[in-house]
Structures are given as structure tokens and as C-alpha cells.
Amino acid sequence: MIAHSREAGARVASTTNLPKVSVIIPVKAVNDYIRESLPHLMKQSHPNVEIIVLPDRDDGENLEPATVTPTWPLTGPADKRDLGARDSTGEILAFLDDDAYPGRDWLASAIPHFNDPNVAAVGGPNVTPPEDSLLQRAAGWVLASRLGGGNYTYRVTPETARDVDDLPSVNLLVRKSDFEAVGGFDSHFWPGEDTKLCLDLTEKLGRRIVYDPHVLVYHHRRPLFIPYLKQIGRYGLHRGHFARVLPKTSARPSYFAPSLFTLGLVLGPFVPWAFIQRAYLLSLTVYSILVIGEALKAFARERDWRLVPLVAAGIVATHIWYGLRFLQGLFMPRLAR
């Protein structure tokens, strides 16, 4: 577990008139993850909180002090978040996924950033819980690796505080007035509605988005391989489409890299020139060494040899499947809602 930040506590102690925070959690149905998350939300060191859970239907389960808002026929996460924001009474909207739970100082670390009126949103890492299964932890290590997560590993492991232009809605706090000013989430882009929102906040409003490693939640991973790859494929599809229609934050070399790798992997053996063949074999050798190196880092942290083949295979599978789906999204004229 990551230690709670003493600095965060000091910041809160010096803050008066703490704003009310509305924690908004979309979910298809009340589940064990929600039951796990609620006690963590109730123990937040920031005291002024309301919790809004948005399932498709209310099954009558008592989730006090959370408010349960049935959403049927609205079933998409973006629509649910918009509905929760509309019904909220807080100055700050805190979006959390149903399979995540916050660290104790999650809100206390985030709220002081909103003292700057130019800050529209704050977020932090969503780390893999230590209690996750072997296949879930392996997926987490893939995402936390430089080969698997690229330039965006700060989203899944604590790194240096900075301004960013894109954060996922699993751990995202937004000033409500700014959220309303840009019209909230665009459900046509799920699972990329958070990218669209962040782009609107930075481009339309000219506001800042702050990444703070102490604004931390624990996010249960989809296990390797099929559930994880289904999720990664959706991300690749939407990022590819965004690279064409929202290039400001999505047409970046790191997002194209898996597609280029996949094309090279498939086409390389068919190039007739000998020097290309030698370069192809050399590239595969270097790539294999790098993949094994990243897998060994997971072993070094957990001392579990079972992670090594899983993480190595997960990185390769991520590159290939994300790359293919990215190309599909890049050439799709529009995404189905």
C-alpha cells in the first residue's frame, strides 16, 4: 500500500471553508467493488463529501450514506456521470470507476489545487491493488511498464507532479462550473469521453489540469488475457479515431508506435532486401531483450517468477492488439455509440 501523505494533511489543515465534493460512481449494478469502495469514501480525510452511485436499476440495497440514482434507460458511463453531475450539490465533481477505491487522502490531496481558479481538473494515478489476483497484477505491471504504458505510466503508478492535458475518469476531479461550461461528457466517445472532456477544459476554457501523485486510487485490473485485451482494444479503437478527429492530444508518436510495430512485425519477413532482413532480426532481438527486462522488473518488485512470462506476453499482446484496433479507429468515419 502507498503511504498516506503528511504533506496532504498539512495542506488540508491550512485550508478553510472546505468545498463540498460530489463523488460520482457509474455502475451497471451494485457489486462487491462498490461495497468495498464505500467504506474508503466514508473515511476520507476531507469531511465535506456526498456520494452518488448510478446503477441501471435500484435493487433496494442500502448503500447509505450514498445516494442511489437508477438511470435506466441511460446505461452508458458517460451518460450516468452527466446525470450524477446534474443531481450533485458539490462544487467539485469527483469521478471514480465502480472497480476502484480511493486512498484516505485522495480528496484532501486534490482539493487544495482548486484554490487556483485556473485549475479546472485534478487527478492522479490509479494503481493496482496488492490484493488483486496474479493475472490482474500481471496486467497492472504491463500498464506500468515503459513498453506497455509508454509516456503515460504516471496514470497507473505515482510519478512527479505536473500539468497534463489528458487524464482518465477512473480518478478525475473537475470543478463543476467548468464541467458545465463545456457541456460535460460526450457519450459518443466512450471509452474516450474523458479525453474529450479534458481537451475541452484545456482548449475551450484555457484551464489547467493537474496531476498529483498523492491523489491516488486503487484500481482493480481486468485479468490477462481476454478481459484485459478487450479493454485495451476499446482504448486503441477510440484513440485511433481521436488521432484523426481530435489530433491535439491524440495524434502523438507514442500512440502510433504499437501500430507501426505490428505492421513491421507482419511485413518485415516479406521485404526482399537482405539489409532489411538483418535490421528486422536485430530489431526483434532488441525488442525481446527490452520486453524481458520489463518483465523482470515485475519480478524484482514482487518476487514472483510467475509474473515474468505473463508480463512479457502481455506486453507483446498489448502492442499487437492495441496497434490493430488503433488502425481500425484511425480509418473509421465515425464511432458507433
Q: 3-state SS of 144-209?
A: HCHHHHHHHHHHCCCCCCEEECCCCCCEEEEEHHHHHHCCCCCHHHCCCHHHHHHHHHHHHCCCEE
Report yes or no: 155 and 125 within 8 Å, Cβ to Cβ: yes
Interatomic CA distance for residues 93 and 197, integer angstroms: 13
> Residue 1: is its pLDDT beyond 50?
no
The average confidence (pLDDT) of the chain is 92
* Residue 323 neighbours by CB distance under 10 Å: 24
Contacts of 194 (CB under 8 A, 6+ apart): 166, 167, 168, 169, 172, 185
The strands making up 21-26's β-sheet, listed across from edge to edge, are 67-68, 49-54, 21-26, 92-96, 171-175, 119-123, 208-211, 162-164
pLDDT value at residue 336: 66
- Quick check: pTM over 0.75? yes
Q: What is the pLDDT of residues 201-211, one digit of tens each?
A: 999 999 999 99
CATH of region 6-124+167-221, choose from 3.90.550.10, 3.30.910.20, 3.40.50.620, 3.40.30.10: 3.90.550.10
> Residue 15: is its pLDDT beyond 70?
no
The strands making up 126-127's β-sheet, listed across from edge to edge, are 100-102, 217-219, 126-127
Of all helices (H) and strands (E), which one includes residue 277?
A: helix 274-302
pLDDT value at residue 333: 85
- Give residue 7's pLDDT band: very low, low, confident or very high (50, 70, 90): very low
Q: What is the pLDDT of residues 166-189, one digit of tens each?
A: 999 999 999 999 999 999 998 776
Domain boundaries, the chain: 6-124+167-221, 229-331
